[in-house]
Chain A
């Protein structure tokens, strides 16, 4: 049997398993709370893996080794701080998001923003999230298509169609149950991939010390944190953005804190999440160094991980690692689809348009939205328009700039006002885009920024200043609502 057939065989088994999980859970979705949140029906480990797998896209798994290959040690701070992201998210907002959502029955993060900062903030956050995250579907599908065309020769169009249809089906029928449990399996595969590949590759390079010695000999200019051609401020702001700024930048992952009414569960999930992400990112960093030691002149750095797989693993095991990479992309797509669907159903269809939003109607409309968005993402992935590519690049930063401080301070500080929250979000989003545009006009691309400072950092700082300044001069939320939000009064029984 040829190696390509063996790769395809493993990936077919993997696809069948994902579909099976979706169908298995399809009968459990009786209410919209089941469909969009699987409320109180997920164990801590599943919440953890789902949070982390959602946060780590295909670019974290397949792309990180390649980026490390291109930038050398300059990318190591991004790896470690990506592993720290759950720590920031769970500790700084997890507990509060869980409690507020439970008390006030918030289904989405926009519901929470609406309770805290009023209706227009809720609607603005829904629109920013939908605009920023839907292009992620296109990006992940495109990444899957390119990777599989290059690695095993499956035509690009076939990959994105098969891949897109499978994710749409299991998300559509299984809702959050299927999304979370498939994320769990995808997460375990991602860890398994690292656990299998790293020792074998290290064996071939003479262990960590051997790999590091070869890396520094082959690439002396890349053996320093500022040696990859990026300014130190770029590296420092990347260190902040991939860790702390995930609070606002990853609403699809933060939504996992709304899947339970028990904050204690999240304490256990935190440990699972951070262990999982640490294993993956230690593996990714180590493989990056090994790849530079073994293949210093690799023409396409994106092929660093596939290159290691094909050199060091038999096709059946290599297929498992490739399935893991596929899993990283799928887990992001399914979460984005479900989150966009819940935002549309709950915050736009139900609240803004005042359409029927009972359990049956919500699940029905939610499923239609999953199909439409999934198909749109797949269609755009066939030939992504320039505007979509722009949004893909900006999406995370846009949300990090808009939401990080309104969310973090909003759940802890009583003194912030609805106007402060709303204008903080708008100012954060606007200044993030402006910073991108300034960078683009100066350097001609979206990856170089003025002074090396990432747009999310600039956007969030502007958002913070506006949030605090406007809150100083505008009316606070009604005392009754504040007391409920900050647990100083019970929720009225008719609420």
Chain B
């Protein structure tokens, strides 16, 4: 039996985007509010980023990539 292991490359790229994006967002200066009185970095870390994580997990669970 010979089976080629498939590293989930797209999920790994999404993880790099998440980690690098998260660090970048934390370093951004404060700006004007975008939602619930929070500026973009605060909103992303407090709430918006969760949507990215959940969608990325759904993507992996559907495609295995």
Residues of A within 8 A of B (CB): 73, 76-77, 80-81, 83-84, 86-88, 90-92, 95-96, 207-209, 212-213, 216, 223-225, 232, 235-236, 239-240, 243-244, 267-268, 270-271, 274-275, 278, 281-282, 285-286, 289, 412, 486-490
Contacts and interface: CB of A to CB of B under 8 A. Distances in A.
B36 A239 contact: no
B27 interface: yes
Nearest to A487: B3
Interface string B39-62: 001100111011001101110110
Nearest to A281: B50
Given A76-B46, A91-B8, A212-B36, A270 B60 contact: yes
A270 B19 contact: no
Contact of A225 (B3, B41, B61): B41
Given A208-B36, A212-B37, A412-B7, A239 B57 contact: no
Nearest to A88: B15
A52 to B, nearest CB: 12
Contacts of A286: 46
Contacts of A207: 36
- The secondary-structure label for the interface of chain A is helix
B20 to A, nearest CB: 11
Interface of B: 1-3, 5, 7-8, 11-12, 15, 18-19, 22-23, 26-27, 30, 36-38, 41-42, 45-47, 49-50, 53-54, 56-58, 60-61, 64
A216 B33 CA distance: 13
A77 B36 contact: no
Please name the 9 residue pairs, one residue from A and one from B, whose CB atoms are nearest each other, closest first: A267-B61, A209-B36, A208-B36, A487-B3, A274-B57, A209-B37, A225-B26, A91-B11, A84-B53
Contacts of A73: 42, 45-46
B3 A488 contact: yes
A83 B53 contact: yes
A243 B14 CA distance: 14
19 contacts: A76-B46, A80-B45, A80-B50, A84-B53, A87-B53, A88-B15, A90-B57, A91-B11, A208-B36, A232-B27, A235-B26, A239-B19, A239-B26, A267-B61, A268-B61, A282-B50, A487-B1, A488-B3, A489-B1
Among B38, B42, B57, residue most surrounded by chain A Cβ atoms (within 10 Å): B57
A76 B23 CA distance: 12
Contacts of A282: 47, 50
Among A84, A208, A489, residue most surrounded by chain B Cβ atoms (within 10 Å): A84
B5 A412 contact: yes
B39 to A, nearest CB: 10
Contacts of A80: 22, 45-46, 49-50, 53
Given A76-B45, A212-B36, A270 B22 contact: no
A274 B54 contact: yes
Given A225-B45, A235-B26, A270-B61, A244 B53 contact: no
B53 to A, nearest CB: 5
B5 to A, nearest CB: 6
Contacts of B56: 87
Contacts of B8: 91-92, 95
Among A267, A285, A412, residue most surrounded by chain B Cβ atoms (within 10 Å): A267
B22 A81 contact: yes
B55 to A, nearest CB: 10
A87 B36 contact: no
B22 A278 contact: no
Contacts of A88: 15
Contacts of B61: 267-268, 270-271
A275 B57 CA distance: 9
Contacts of B37: 209, 212-213, 216
A92 B26 contact: no
Contacts of A96: 5
Nearest to A278: B50
A483 to B, nearest CB: 9
A267 B53 contact: no
B42 to A, nearest CB: 6
A385 B18 CA distance: 40
Given A77-B26, A282-B47, 20 more contacts: A77-B45, A80-B53, A84-B53, A86-B57, A87-B56, A87-B57, A90-B57, A91-B8, A92-B15, A209-B36, A225-B26, A235-B26, A236-B23, A240-B19, A244-B15, A271-B58, A274-B54, A412-B5, A487-B1, A489-B2
B59 to A, nearest CB: 10
Contacts of B22: 77, 80-81, 239
Contact of A212 (B7, B11, B26, B38): B38
